[in-house]
Each structure stands twice: as C-alpha cells, then as structure tokens.
C-alpha cells in the first residue's frame, strides 16, 4: 500500500493488520475523495476517472492479484474488504474497482502464464480497467444461450454479436468475452476470449440511463468481424461456460460486499438522523418503534457481514464446491441491502425521499445487487440444487 493508517484491531472479523490497513485506506478514500463527488456522478452519470486515479495511485486495484503479476497477493477476502468500504459511501463509484475484478478473474482462473503477464500487471496498477462480457438480449439468467459468435479463421477468431449491460463498458481496456464457437453444442459450444479495446470492429453502443449505480458505466459491446488472435482464447474451446460460472463463484462475494457496504452506509445515515431529529420534544431515536427498526437493521447487517466474509474465506481457502456459499452470500446480503435501505428512507421520513439526503440514492443503488451476476431467484435455484445433491450424496454414503 502506498498509504498507511492505523486503527484498532477488529477482532470480530479476524482481519490481519495488513487487511485492517486496506480497510482503513479504502474508508479514507471513500470519505475524502468519493463523498464530495458522489452526488455529482449520480446526477450526471459520468464515469469517475478522478476517483479511479486515486484508487490506482493508492494501489487498491492490485489487492486480489498475485505478486508475480504486479499485485499484492491477496484474494477474494481483500477484494471484499475494499468493495465494502468504498460502497458505504457510493455503490456506483465502487464498481469502477469491483467490476474490474470481475473482468480480471477469468484471466486469473483460466489464463496461461503469458496471458497473465500481459494483462494482469496493468489491471493491478489500475492503469487499465477490465470488464466481463457475458449478458445478451436473449442470454441473461440463461447464460448458456449466448449468440455472439467466434469463428476460427486461420490463426484468428472472428467475433460477431452484441453484449448488453456490461459494467465498465467503454471505459475498460481489457474485456473477457463469452462467445459461441460451435453451433448446436449447448454450453459445450461456448468459449472465452480476451478482447482489447481498440481492436478493429470492436465498438460500443448506447450508455444506459440507469435507476441506480449511475456513477458506473453500463454499455453495449458491439463486435463486427473483430479478429482476435488464437492466443487470446482462455483455456480451450468449449470451456466458456465453465469460465463464466467459476468466475461468478469467485465474484459473487464481491457483489455481496457491495450490497453490505450500501446497507451499512444507509444504516449509519439513519442512526445519525434519528439521534438528531426531534419530534414531540425528543429525538425520534427515543421512540421504541423506531428503535426496533434500527435493531433489526443492525442485526441483519451483521448477519450479512458474517456470511460475506465466511464465503470469501472459503473461496480463498480453495474449498471445492463454493457455488452454494457464494450464492448464499449474494442473495442474503442483497436482500438485506434492499430491506435496510428502504427502512432507512422510512426512518428519515419525507427527508429520506429527497435527493438532498443520500439514503434515496442508496436504495436505488441497492436494487441492482438483487439482479446482476445472477438474479436472486437464480441464486436460490443454485442453493437448492446444491442442497439436494448433497443430501443424495449423504444418502448414498449411508450417512
């Protein structure tokens, strides 16, 4: 880290001294650099390059990338710590960091050494952002339905098709793109490629005008006879669906951390307001009905935090089947974020509905965490499927 801060040890989360330094550094960036501009970026929808530069100069982008490729050797846990702290102030601006991790994880997981050496150091330095291109008009929850084509022509693949709702779209330099290399083969006919911004035929469509996370770029990726070297294939042909699913297993705790941060930020605003707002001659925080709301909000947040960091540690420990716990963290934390931010608006009453106060923005930002990287309905299907398989396996073993 290029900056150091001191803090009291946070025993409940079991963070190391270095992780606590990361936590405090990100909190400092959020307070000093993001807080003064979050309303501006929410209003304009511009991309926060000034904040990106601060995060890059502070070495935030490399926390989850191995030292061999220019990073600091951390993992999903460090990525979650940074994402939570940044999201406490602005979930949209935090995505400039978190979405770059989503784009980098396919390379971390499936890239060969040459690919990692070529692309990861610049991502770790924050000089080039990454993005992940999977979603299409007919391939959302059904990730295996991608129609973007990649046809081998000599030593190159030729890509044609359109991706939509791609976070960091147009701003990132390095894209992991999922495309179909074999017709009629279902998920086995899908492959993953690294595509660089500026490649002839690779262009960007409309920038979406969103309800929330407005400080984050969300755009179409358009491929028209885009020629990509064979060397940019991740893994082997037919591994694209696996690349996407294993990437999500790694990245979903990050979405959960974003949701957690948004919830914590909204809760902090609600408590502060309740302490100072007076009605009937006393602070509204003295009324039992509101106290119970705050107690429930705090309990839900702490439960989400425990699950988020438990899932991150399991991923980093190399637990084999992490799909269930990653899905649990994502679905629970995002549901908590939506509940807590809605309740925060209620605590502030009419003021909560006004843009002068940040909780209405936090409620808008929270909603997307229930939708992207797999809707919460899909997450529940993943969890249930895993539970059923585990039960059948135990029965077969006679347990």
Query: Which residues are designated catalytic?
Result: 373
Helix 376-396, helix 323-348: angle, nearest 10: 140
Six token digits for residue 128: 């080039």
Backbone φ and ψ for 88, nearest 5 degrees, come out as -60, -30
Cα radius of gyration (the chain): 21
């Amino acid at each position: 880290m290029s900056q150091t801060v001191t803090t009291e040890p946070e025993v409940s989360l079991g963070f190391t001294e270095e992780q606590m330094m990361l936590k405090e550094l990100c909190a400092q960036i959020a307070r000093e650099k993001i807080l003064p501009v979050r309303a501006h970026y929410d209003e304009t929808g511009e991309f926060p390059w000034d904040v990106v530069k601060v995060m890059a100069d502070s070495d935030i982008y490399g926390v989850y990338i191995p030292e061999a490729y220019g990073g600091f050797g951390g993992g999903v846990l460090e990525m979650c710590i940074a994402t939570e702290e940044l999201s406490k102030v602005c979930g949209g601006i935090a995505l400039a960091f978190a979405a770059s991790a989503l784009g980098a994880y396919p390379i971390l997981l499936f890239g060969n050494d040459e690919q990692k050496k070529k692309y990861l150091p610049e991502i770790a330095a924050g000089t080039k952002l990454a993005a992940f291109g999977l979603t299409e008009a007919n391939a959302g929850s059904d990730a295996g339905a991608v129609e973007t084509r990649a046809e081998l022509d000599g030593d190159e693949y030729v890509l044609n098709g359109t991706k939509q709702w791609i976070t960091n779209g147009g701003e990132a330099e390095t894209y992991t793109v999922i495309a179909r290399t074999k017709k009629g083969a279902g998920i086995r006919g899908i492959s993953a490629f690294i595509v660089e911004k500026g490649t002839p035929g690779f262009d960007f469509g409309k920038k979406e005008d969103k309800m929330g996370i407005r400080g984050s770029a969300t755009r179409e990726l358009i491929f028209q006879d885009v020629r990509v070297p064979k060397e940019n294939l991740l893994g082997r042909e037919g591994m694209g669906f696996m690349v996407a699913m294993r990437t999500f297993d790694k990245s979903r705790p990050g979405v959960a951390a974003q949701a957690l941060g948004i919830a914590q930020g909204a809760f902090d605003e609600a408590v502060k307001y309740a302490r100072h707002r007076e009605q009937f001659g006393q602070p509204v925080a003295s009324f039992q009905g509101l106290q119970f709301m705050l107690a429930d909000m705090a309990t839900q947040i702490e439960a989400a935090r425990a699950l988020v960091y438990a899932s991150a540690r399991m991923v980093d420990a190399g637990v084999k089947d992490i799909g269930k716990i990653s899905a649990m963290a994502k679905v629970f934390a995002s549901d908590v974020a939506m509940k807590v931010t809605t309740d925060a608006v209620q605590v502030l009453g009419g003021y909560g509905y006004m843009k002068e106060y940040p909780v209405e923005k936090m409620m808008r930002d929270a909603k997307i965490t229930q939708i992207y990287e797999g809707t919460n309905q899909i997450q529940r299907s993943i969890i249930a499927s895993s539970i059923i398989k585990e039960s059948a396996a135990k029965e077969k073993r006679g347990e």
